[in-house]
Structure 1
Amino acid sequence: MSETLVAKDVDLFYGASQAVKRASILLRRGEIAAITGPSGSGKSSLLYCLAGVLPASQGEIRFEGRPFNELDDDELSTLRRDRFGFVFQYGELLPELTVEENAALPLRLAGQRKRAALAAAGEVLGRLGLSELRERRPSQVSGGQSQRVAVARALVHRPAVVFADEPTGSLDSANASAVLDEFLTLARSQGTAVLIVTHDPDVAARADSRYSMVDGVLTTQGPVGS
């Protein structure tokens, strides 16, 4: 698998407080990686650095060989919009849009015509078992269904990387397992790399490679089964 995202010796400071300490990570095309650790350990801070949302204080992050620090703000915004996808713990769907419109949002933001964007969203929603809910609003679907919509939105534009921050943390175990199954199956079929931040060892066990983070220090646990 080719290297997609590489970080080397990344530090992140919030004022005088250091949230991430010399973290290094390698993510390849189609790979599922998980970062586990207790709350407040720096997992989400590192995720947002790797996604280009927070600027690293020190170190280097490269996407497909190009360092983030060579990109201006517009280029970085375009990268996040077009090449990255995001899944958050609570879905964070827009309440004024339908399920289908929420799923199509990345394509619409990238300038795709509405009809084509909705058709693409409908296809992904169908693969996630949500075809019958396309016209509903987020308030009219369950938590598990809402999280499936968030997965569809993250994958509809076939991104190179999806960053998932506790994507099943708000769900019961049955829904969490179902959402994770669909998420990872669809991501793998598209060749999308996925980086999951989680405190749940059962979620991490589904990954190809695992990392642990404690007090800002990232430790490689290696491939599953190693």
Structure 2
Amino acid sequence: MSQVLAAQGIDLRYGSSQAVKGASIALQRGEVAAVMGPSGSGKSSLLYCLAGVLPVSDGEVRFEGRALGHLSDAELSSLRRDRFGFVFQYGELLPELTVEENAALPLRLAGQRKAQALATAGEVLGRLGLGELRERRPSQVSGGQSQRVAVARALVHRPAVVFADEPTGSLDSVSAEAVLEEFLTLARSQDTAVVLVTHDADVAARADTRYTMVDGVLTLQGRSGR
């Protein structure tokens, strides 16, 4: 494995409030890292710093050796579009697009022709058991199916890193287990690293590396053999 993403001693401050305090984390290709902690502990703030959405107050985040703080806004936008993927708690699908069009969106934004993008999206949707739902709208699928579409969208362009913020938090336990299994299996098969924010110990147990975050302080809890 080779390192793909690393943060060293990063702080994030909002005025006099400090959301992230000296956090350090390193991800290898294909590694799944879970960050656990209670609501308000700084988990999501850390995630957005690692993804270059929020600029850090101190410290440094590097992707493939490049410091995010040295990139222009255009370079950061390109990085998030082409090399990163995102999965959120409620899917955040575009209601006016079909399931297939939602899944194909990263490829279309990268300039890929529609037919090719839809074909690739269809393949990924098929791997997630959604092949027969490609022409439906988000309002016509269940919560678990909608989250699978979000997973497909995050992975369709084979990103280097996926940032997942409570990706199964809105689902019942059966749907959550199925979506998580498919998500992590597909990500690992593509050698995509995953940063997974969760408050669920069962979800965190599926990761290769586990961290806890309390009051902005990130602590390594353990690693599993891969």
TM-score (ref. length: structure 2): 0.99
2:116 alignment counterpart: 116
CA shift, 1:69, in A, is: 1.5
Q: Tell me the secondary structure at the aligned position of residue 74 of structure 2.
A: helix
SS for the counterpart of 2:94 is coil
Provide the rounded CA distance (Å) in 2 between the counterparts of 1:200 and 1:69.
32
Residue of structure 1 equivalent to 2:160: 160
SS in 2 for 1:35: strand
Alignment of 1:1-226 (within 5 A): 1-224=1-224
Q: CA deviation at 1:107?
A: 0.3
Q: Separation in 2 of the partners of 1:182 and 1:19?
A: 32
Give the Å deviation of 1:38: 0.3
Return the alpha-carbon distance in structure 1 between the equivalents of residues 79 and 122 of structure 2. 24
CA contact (8 A) 1:85 1:159 kept: yes
Following the alignment from structure 1 to structure 2, what is the Cα–Cα distance between the partners of residues 9 and 56?
10
Q: Tell me the CA shift for residue 222 of structure 1.
A: 2.0
Cα distance in 2 between the residues matched to 1:97 and 1:49: 30
User: Per-residue displacement from partner, 1:120-169 (whole Å, max 9, x unpaired)?
Assistant: 00000000000000000000000000000000000000000000000000
Unaligned runs of 5+ in 1: none
- Conserved? CA contact 1:11–1:19, under 8 Å: yes
Over residues 13-71 of structure 1, what are the superposed CA-to-partner deviations in whole Å (9 max), with x where a residue is unaligned?
Answer: 11110000000000100000000000000000000000011111110000000101121
Q: Cα distance, 1:224 vs. partner?
A: 3.1
For 1:64, give the aligned amino acid.
E
CA distance, structure 2, for counterparts of residue 69 and residue 46 of structure 1: 15
AA matched with 2:121? A
- Please give the alpha-carbon distance, in whole angstroms, between the structure 2 residues aligned to 1:61 and 1:52: 8
How many pairs are equivalent?
225
Q: Deviations over 1:168-221 (max 9, x none)?
A: 000000000000000000001000000100000000000000000000000001
Q: What is the percentage of aligned positions where both structures have the same residue?
A: 82
Aligned CA RMSD, in angstroms, stands at 0.6
Is the 8 Å Cα contact of residues 205 and 224 (structure 1) preserved in structure 2?
Answer: no
CA contact (8 A) 1:47 1:197 kept: yes
> Which secondary structure state, in structure 1, belongs to the residue aligned with residue 30 of structure 2?
coil
Letter in structure 2 aligned against 1:167: P
Moved over 4 A (4+): none
